[in-house]
Structure 1
């Protein structure tokens, strides 16, 4: 008999595992040495299915450590290769919800910037186009509502640059709630960053049918300023 998972499972078959990533857990091993999601999931599958030996778990996309929400992992090398190809060909849809300070200049819009990463400080900055090492970053945003000095945004991520959403929104004067790295002037230490992977969509690596993994943020402040139904409708 299969044991229950320690994680909230959004989708599972022989090829894929879709889960809700817990906040503040690194996706893969990093310099902190803290336990990471990839190895936690391997252990979880091994225990639930009583599998001997090593368990394959392929990482095809990432979320920043403080960010939670929908993620998909590959359970076979073939699935990993095909999902990675979907990412490369922009056939991998990523929708986020976030709460920011203030309000963007328009109800919806596209942000196109050149971002440069400083690996030594693990920070990213907006730089002039053509800057050596800079990479183009594109996202679309829609304002879903504004209350008490905050705005709830839907983000369609068109490129997958490091810290992209956090940096681009901060650059227009709308730092994310709780983001200490790119909004230290308006956030307090200890606040949880309000960025959530709400939808991940892609063609199944074997059946080719469209798969959508959906996860809503917890009903805690500041997310609770807006009804869950609004968030559900926004990502459909």
Structure 2
């Protein structure tokens, strides 16, 4: 089953797929998936409000967070609508039975047109940043991704990325380590920010077998509306 229809409501939420068990939305830059110390309203609360309004539900609405995207990142986020399906979705992520594809725009040409990057990441909670090492070091976690250059733009390169692991800031840190910081990502060495504080990293595509219906699900997230992303699409 392929899902691509976008539904909009008064919260400006983009719903890409929804059934009785799962809801998948297209996260905007600046949205946080879950509440944090900023106190800003998280995307999970926006989705709860959408469900409550759409189905006229009394009382509290259940919503389980399956995974997260960084605040400046855009694209696909999956939520569980029932407590029964949440552990099943979690298991899919743990067993790597969900195929996630990202697009990233970088300024510098990668050393190779396609490659597998393997690093060991160490998270620094003080500055909320991960440092990539070329060998196993104390408190590190192995990180593996595959990338390929899929388009040459006037001043940038569009990479398609598939993750083997899901580490903190993995794509951002690993690409920066090979000299390819993502456009707008000041934290990882890009020379200037984007006007909307986003970075050009988008969770574009996801494939998995529905944990209840047992049918294949394929979902694509439309790109943000800006000049660079439009050039990537054309």
1:178-217 equivalences in 2 (<5 Å):
178-184=184-190, 186-188=191-193, 190=195, 192-217=198-223
CA distance in 1, matches of 2:136, 2:198: 34
Question: Does residue 20 of structure 2 align to residue 28 of structure 1?
Answer: no
Deviation at 1:131, TM superposition (A): 1.2
CA distance in 1, matches of 2:30, 2:24: 18
Give the TM-score normalised by the residue count of structure 2: 0.91
Tell me the residue number matched to 1:84. Answer: 90
Contact 1:204 1:210 in 2 (8 A): yes
CA distance in 2, matches of 1:41, 1:27: 10
Deviation at 1:130, TM superposition (A): 2.6
Contact 2:118 2:134 in 1 (8 A): no
SS of alignment partner, residue 193 of structure 1: coil
Q: Spell out, residue by residue over 1:155-212, the C-alpha distance to the aligned partner (whole angstroms, 9 max, x if none).
A: 111111111111100100010000010024x223635310101012221110111112
Tell me the residue number matched to 2:157. Answer: 151
Unaligned runs of 5+ in 2: 1-6
Question: Does residue 178 of structure 2 align to residue 175 of structure 1?
Answer: no
Q: Residues 26 and 165 of structure 1: is their aligned pair in 2 closer, same or farther, counting only changes over 3 Å? A: same
Unaligned runs of 5+ in 1: 229-236
Superposed CA RMSD = 1.6
Contact 1:71 1:213 in 2 (8 A): no
Question: Does residue 58 of structure 2 align to residue 52 of structure 1?
Answer: yes
Q: Moved runs in structure 1, 4+ residues, more than 6 A?
A: none
2:103 corresponds, among 81, 84, 97, to 97
Tell me the residue number matched to 1:12. Answer: 18
Tell me the residue number matched to 1:38. Answer: 44
Deviation at 1:4, TM superposition (A): 6.0
Deviation at 1:128, TM superposition (A): 4.6
Give the TM-score normalised by the residue count of structure 1: 0.90
SS of alignment partner, residue 85 of structure 2: helix
Deviation at 1:9, TM superposition (A): 1.2
1:106-117 equivalences in 2 (<5 Å):
106-117=112-123
Contact 2:8 2:15 in 1 (8 A): no
Q: Spell out, residue by residue over 1:75-132, the C-alpha distance to the aligned partner (whole angstroms, 9 max, x if none).
A: 0111111000001111011100110011111111110100000011101101252312
Number of equivalent positions: 225
